[in-house]
């Protein structure tokens, strides 16, 4: 993930479609400029540095499993019918 998003971030929060604005704001501890529910398509990734938003990205490609990960996150992909499955490995 560090190769995809360089910079001094230490945590990334990944949100799926239909996540509420309230849930996003509670997780990132900050106001965010999205509708009441994120409707996608895709996912929202909030890269954090020391508890503050470093960068927010909307990802419309392959699916990253929802969750909170460290900056050591590695994504490993494999083909599935109709797309690619991503596996999150956080060591």
pLDDT at 84 (0 to 100): 60
pLDDT at 12 (0 to 100): 93
pLDDT at 37 (0 to 100): 94
pLDDT at 52 (0 to 100): 96
Read off the pTM.
Answer: 0.76
Residues of the chain below pLDDT 50: none
Please enumerate in sequence order all residues whose Cβ is within 8 A of that of 2, keeping only pairs 6 or more positions apart, or say none: 71, 72, 73
pLDDT at 15 (0 to 100): 92
């Amino acid at each position: 993930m560090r190769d995809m998003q360089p910079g001094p971030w230490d945590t990334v929060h990944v949100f799926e479609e239909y996540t509420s604005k309230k849930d996003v704001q509670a997780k990132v501890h900050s106001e965010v400029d999205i509708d009441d529910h994120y409707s996608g398509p895709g996912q929202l990734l909030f890269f954090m540095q020391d508890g503050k938003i470093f960068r927010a990205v909307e990802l419309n490609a392959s699916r990253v499993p929802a969750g909170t990960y460290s900056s050591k996150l590695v994504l490993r992909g494999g083909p599935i019918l109709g797309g690619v499955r991503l596996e999150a490995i956080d060591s």
